[in-house]
Amino acid sequence: MAVSGEPSSFRYELGKLVASTELKPWIGTILPPVPTNMIEPTQDVRSFSAATDEALMGAITDRDENALEALYQRHGETLRSIIESVIHEQAEAEDVLQETLLQIWKQAQNYAPRVGKPLGWLTTITRRRAIDRLRRRQAYIRVKDRYQEQINELPGGASTTVDGEEKMERADLRCYLREQMSALPEFQRQALELSFFRGMSHREIAASTKNPLGTVKTRLELGLQKLHAWLKPVQHKI
């Protein structure tokens, strides 16, 4: 059954993706990995085997899910290789590929044949997606490192060389941090606590919470971004 007008039989489960409310800013990260060995194409998909890329783009614009699957079968490995030249972690590269396919489905009407071939348009979208993911990951690492430094400075101890006033400030700041964390959605708070206070890796958190690795990463990103914004007013005290 189709969800919100998205394809129903296409194996990337786009309907499930669009239905997600938790991860809409990074909507592609909860999809199952794209299999490298696709099942035998259906008759409907075979009907597009002789179609030009331009015809496939037109059919996708008309919301034909089989055209999107045919386009993936034709160019999926090319798009994957572009992503993997930028993103070197397989699971994350799969996330980007899935995000790219969703963008193609939603924005196919933006393709203009007079500008160039469809494959050029596809590779541009794919490369931008990969670079955006890399930049976001680098920003996430910077925020994580900063927050980890703050966490390391706060618990139970302040150094014995600091005076009483500074100890009080640090205690107040520690309370402030915990108060802000308590305001996070439960799934984001849980991921942060497991990462920072229990020292668990992303994969360990995924196994412990029975969530996909991409979901765990996104929860950490969202939680850290909120904490970073909330900490700005008191950064001078850290």
What CATH number did the domain enclosing 181 receive? 1.10.10.10
Residue 171 resides in a domain: yes
User: By residue range, what is the domain housing residue 211?
Assistant: 154-237
Tokens of 111: 């393709």
9 pLDDT higher than 50: no
Shared domain for 229 and 160, answered yes or no, is yes
118 pLDDT higher than 90: yes
Report, as an integer, the average pLDDT of 143-161: 54
Mean pLDDT, the chain, whole residue set? 72
Domain containing 29 — which CATH number?
A: 1.10.1740.10
Tokens of 191: 């991921």
Residue 220 resides in a domain: yes
221 pLDDT higher than 60: yes
Residue 44 resides in a domain: yes
Residue 4 resides in a domain: no
Which pLDDT belongs to residue 27? Answer: 32
Work out the percent of the chain whose per-residue pLDDT is above 70.
Answer: 61
Shared domain for 113 and 159, answered yes or no, is no
Shared domain for 36 and 115, answered yes or no, is yes
Tokens of 45: 């998909």
Report, as an integer, the average pLDDT of 154-160: 43
Contacts of 114 by beta carbon, 8 Å cutoff, 6+ apart? none
pLDDT digits (tens, 9 = 90+) for 26-54: 333 333 344 444 444 555 778 888 899 99
Contact 23, 31 (CB under 8 A): no
What is the chain's Cα-based Rg?
22
Give the separation between CA 226 and CA 237, rounded to whole angstroms.
18
Shared domain for 122 and 159, answered yes or no, is no
20 pLDDT higher than 80: no
Shared domain for 124 and 165, answered yes or no, is no
Domain count, the chain: 2
Tokens of 219: 């929860």
107 pLDDT higher than 50: yes
Shared domain for 123 and 172, answered yes or no, is no
57 pLDDT higher than 90: yes
Shared domain for 132 and 160, answered yes or no, is no
Residue 2 resides in a domain: no
pLDDT band (50, 70, 90) for residue 4: very low
235 pLDDT higher than 90: no
Give the separation between CA 83 and CA 78, rounded to whole angstroms.
9
Shared domain for 129 and 218, answered yes or no, is no
Residue 3 resides in a domain: no
Residue 40 resides in a domain: yes
pLDDT digits (tens, 9 = 90+) for 165-192: 554 455 555 566 677 778 888 888 888 8
Shared domain for 171 and 118, answered yes or no, is no
Give the separation between CA 69 and CA 195, rounded to whole angstroms.
38
Shared domain for 176 and 215, answered yes or no, is yes
Tokens of 142: 């910077």
Boundary-marking domain end, from 136, 166, 181: 136
pLDDT, greater one: 38 or 141 = 141
Tokens of 161: 């060389």
Shared domain for 172 and 224, answered yes or no, is yes
Which pLDDT belongs to residue 58? Answer: 94
Shared domain for 42 and 122, answered yes or no, is yes
Q: Is 88 helix (H, G, I), strand (E, B) or coil?
A: coil
